[in-house]
Structure 1
Amino acid sequence: MNWTQLKQISLQEITAWAETQSWCLAMTECAQDAEWHSEGDVWTHTKMVLDQLFELEEWSLLSNHEQVVLIFTALFHDVAKPLTTEVDSETGRVRSPKHAVKGEHVARKVLRELECDLATREEIARLVRYHGRPAFLLEREEPTHEVIRLSWLVNNKLLYLFALADTRGRDTDSMSRPEENLYFWKMMAQESNCYTQPFSFQNDQARFLFFQQQKPNLHYVPHEDYSCTVTLMVGLPGSGKDTWLARNRNNLPVISLDVIRYELDVDPADNQGQVAQLARERCREFLRQGTSFAFNATNTMKLTRNRWVDLFADYKAKIDMVYLEPEFDQILRQNKSRSNAVPESVIHRLAEKIEPPTWMECHKLMLCGGFEN
């Protein structure tokens, strides 16, 4: 069964397929906290949420794509509970800390193996990651900032509709956070004009600063006066970053971590401190001169990218991110043809934890499934 086939079959057929998968079998054996889920195990709750989607008043008004996205968000929203569930030794309460964070990675892996297209996969993975946020909106210090921030990661309408189905898809009558709380998410998103589309910032720099600052000011409109442009490449080893730069940015000087490793004779498996230090020095040289350049490394983790983004932003550079993800078999083939091929086990490990970049991290974002862009 692949993604194209799954999109075209009924809900009953989708659940029947899911029940043959190891990640689903784990959900059937995973207990939940009775106060929140008196209906029982995780898979029982998941099927109830799937049913509740079709009961939503808005369901028939959604596009086929939106319906598919919500169905698979429901399928995966608690998929990582078996990986995170623990029982508090003092209270006996069942908890699943950070199950949404881990669930994003599980959903991404399964959807990638099903050959789901990149844009849809990330839409579903991020809804899985943030599916619990609407219920906690009133606990946020800046609720408006919360819905604005999420509008650049997910569709707030779909997030709200899923939160409704998730709340209704359980047997527990008395909820600590009643369904009425979810309506505040919808109301606030509508008032900020970001219910069905991302919030409209005055310019790219205003958006970039909003996501970078601890206490952003929505009313501040910065000038877009960049010192230079840094093209930051993101992708697994063998994804074709060098080829993309040669075809699309052949006028730019390139700082490549692979090249620096070769110069310093540092193995990719060894400590990379010396490599990173030299790369930062070379970046600073271009930044001080106001020279645009490309920075080429895997950059597959957001935490890693943040260190470079902070450096570039300190010099007032415009930051363009380019994420490449050809088919996984193609990545492995291209890696084998490299002079400095990375062990396939390393590529598989990186793929398990990869975090594709989002609009929260840069001024311009390009998500490419190949070299068509």
Structure 2
Amino acid sequence: MNRKSWLQSLAEDATPAIDECIEQLGETFPLLDQFKLTEQDPQWHAEGDVHIHTGMVLDELYQLLENEANHIQGAHRQALVLGALLHDIAKPLTTRRKEVRGVERVVATRHEAMGRSYIAHRLLNLELSMTVVDLVMGLVGEHHMPKLLVIKQMERGEYWKLARKASMELLYWLEVADMRGRICEDLNQQIDLLEQFKMFSEEYGVWATHQPLEHLRQEIKPHIKDLRADVQDMIFARTMRDFEEGDISTVEEGIARTYSLRDGFSEVYVLYGPSGSGKSSWIKQFDAECEVISLDELRKEINGDRANQSNISQILTVARERLKAHLRAKKKIIWDATNLREDFRQRICRIAFDYHAFVTLVVFHKSERQLFADNKSRPYSVPENVLQDQLDHLEWPVPEEAHRYWVVDNSGKVIKQSGGFND
């Protein structure tokens, strides 16, 4: 069976064992071949290595899909199977031994977030819809959160925040399979935490939807319906963020916080994308009124060559000062850089937040294959080893990093919007 047909079978009734999955997808995700070499902590995973565990998770998931979860079909079934296969994909990168309270343990810190980053551009090499890609990334990147939200007794806002990144129901079923697909002493306690997660998700209105804020949109609509579209987006996004952070408890509080901004505010667009992802082309067609702060152009201005990486501190200082000047003038600004690291993005977002700007994170999502092809045809291409290093070390952005979150596809079209009233 060719790969396209095999992937389609996952949306129907296929139940491939882990070795068959690796045979089909090992070339796309080479870390799958390292599962057998990746140990796990025996207290939580007495069954053995990551290969054994993932195989057990798949088997448990197929049982669920035949019984309690048999309503999950089509694209959601396909995403759930792929999510189960890939949920621990970054453990080969993150697993190490660490002494905890005098006992040597096996840990894999942040393997969830690193897993999402690892698969982000590689998933697009496959014959999958963007809906499925989005769902799989959510499952891999957030599969640790259901139990954590319950253990930490998190409030409504954290459930809203999670529901913008992942399907709560699919997360639940993945984690039921994840728990059953291991040997540990506290299995019943772990399953109970998941049942509480389901109960709270239903209570907060995010169980059956991947767009959890529609009720907030309807509640705020009468208050802002006569305002300009950009002002509507700003008020809604800031109110949503305040709710998620637990800073407000009513829509009226959120609206009151925006009155001083209605006569004028800056807009900042922080771009994310590896070299060759289409950022420059998008800028040209987006908004001619935007002030563009390009680190490439600053390197050319200061170093005489946009490829010269020296004087980075001076370049960043100049860039930030220009950003602050534009913010004081309440202009529209594009921060044009790869911004592959979260801390780089957050430094810019924090400055913008301090000036009460409306911040949009613009995420350019191309396949790994397309990135290499397009890089070759760029006027200013980077060496292939540099692009590969970018893909190996990028940190995929998530919605809560900014007020608003856009995903741009291979053609430069915004295909996903989160956070704005008019999205």
Shorter-chain TM-score tier = 0.7 to 0.9
- 1:74 positional shift: 0.8
Pair 1:168–1:194, CA change in 2 (3 A):
same
Letter in 1 for 2:297: V
DSSP 3-state at the match of 1:36: coil
- 1:68 positional shift: 1.1
Percent identity over the alignment is: 27
What is the CA deviation profile of residues 15-51 of structure 1, one whole-angstrom value per residue up to 9, with x for unaligned ones?
Answer: 4141573533321233333332222222222122112
Q: What is the total number of aligned residue pairs between the two structures?
A: 371
> Equivalent residue for 2:22?
18
Q: 1:352 aligns with which of 382, 392, 407?
A: 392
Tell me which moved more, 122-131 or 17-26: 17-26
Pair 1:137-2:149 in alignment: yes
Pair 1:335–1:35, CA change in 2 (3 A):
closer
- 1:275 positional shift: 1.3
Within 5 A, what are the aligned runs for 1:1-373?
Answer: 2=3, 5-8=6-9, 10-12=14-16, 15-19=19-23, 21=26, 22-56=30-64, 57-88=67-98, 90-108=102-120, 110-114=122-126, 116-175=128-187, 177-197=189-209, 198-200=211-213, 201=216, 202=220, 203-210=236-243, 216-219=247-250, 220-221=253-254, 222-223=257-258, 225=262, 227-265=265-303, 267-373=307-413
Please tell me whether the aligned partners of residues 140 and 146 of structure 1 are also in contact (alpha carbons under 8 angstroms): no
Pair 1:116–1:14, CA change in 2 (3 A):
farther
- 1:115 positional shift: 5.6
- 1:76 positional shift: 1.2
Letter in 2 for 1:7: Q
- 1:177 positional shift: 3.6
Tell me which moved more, 184-193 or 239-248: 239-248
Letter in 1 for 2:33: L
DSSP 3-state at the match of 1:230: strand
RMSD between superposed Cα atoms in Å? 2.7
Letter in 2 for 1:18: I
The TM-score with structure 2 as length reference comes to 0.78
Partner Cα separation in structure 2 for residue 33 and residue 152 of structure 1: 31
Please tell me whether the aligned partners of residues 32 and 89 of structure 2 are also in contact (alpha carbons under 8 angstroms): yes
Partner Cα separation in structure 2 for residue 243 and residue 4 of structure 1: 35
DSSP 3-state at the match of 2:400: coil
What is the CA deviation profile of residues 158-201 of structure 1, one whole-angstrom value per residue up to 9, with x for unaligned ones?
Answer: 11111111111123354384311111111111111111224324
Partner Cα separation in structure 2 for residue 91 and residue 360 of structure 1: 36
Please tell me whether the aligned partners of residues 115 and 141 of structure 2 are also in contact (alpha carbons under 8 angstroms): yes
Gaps of 5+ in 1: none
Gaps of 5+ in 2: 221-235, 414-423
Letter in 2 for 1:130: E
Please tell me whether the aligned partners of residues 254 and 295 of structure 1 are also in contact (alpha carbons under 8 angstroms): yes
The TM-score with structure 1 as length reference comes to 0.88
Partner Cα separation in structure 2 for residue 17 and residue 63 of structure 1: 19
What is the CA deviation profile of residues 94-136 of structure 1, one whole-angstrom value per residue up to 9, with x for unaligned ones?
Answer: 3333332332233335424436455533431232122122223
- 1:12 positional shift: 2.0
Letter in 2 for 1:280: R
Letter in 1 for 2:265: S
4+ residue runs of structure 1 moved beyond 4 angstroms? 1-5, 115-119
DSSP 3-state at the match of 1:243: helix
Letter in 1 for 2:283: L
Please tell me whether the aligned partners of residues 244 and 371 of structure 1 are also in contact (alpha carbons under 8 angstroms): no
Letter in 1 for 2:76: E
- 1:354 positional shift: 2.6
Letter in 2 for 1:216: D
Tell me which moved more, 191-200 or 138-147: 138-147
Pair 1:181–1:210, CA change in 2 (3 A):
same
What is the CA deviation profile of residues 123-160 of structure 1, one whole-angstrom value per residue up to 9, with x for unaligned ones?
Answer: 31232122122223333153433322211111111111
Pair 1:240–1:104, CA change in 2 (3 A):
closer
Letter in 1 for 2:8: K
Pair 1:330–1:84, CA change in 2 (3 A):
closer
- 1:84 positional shift: 2.9
Partner Cα separation in structure 2 for residue 192 and residue 350 of structure 1: 38
Please tell me whether the aligned partners of residues 232 and 320 of structure 1 are also in contact (alpha carbons under 8 angstroms): yes
Partner Cα separation in structure 1 for residue 62 and residue 3 of structure 2: 23
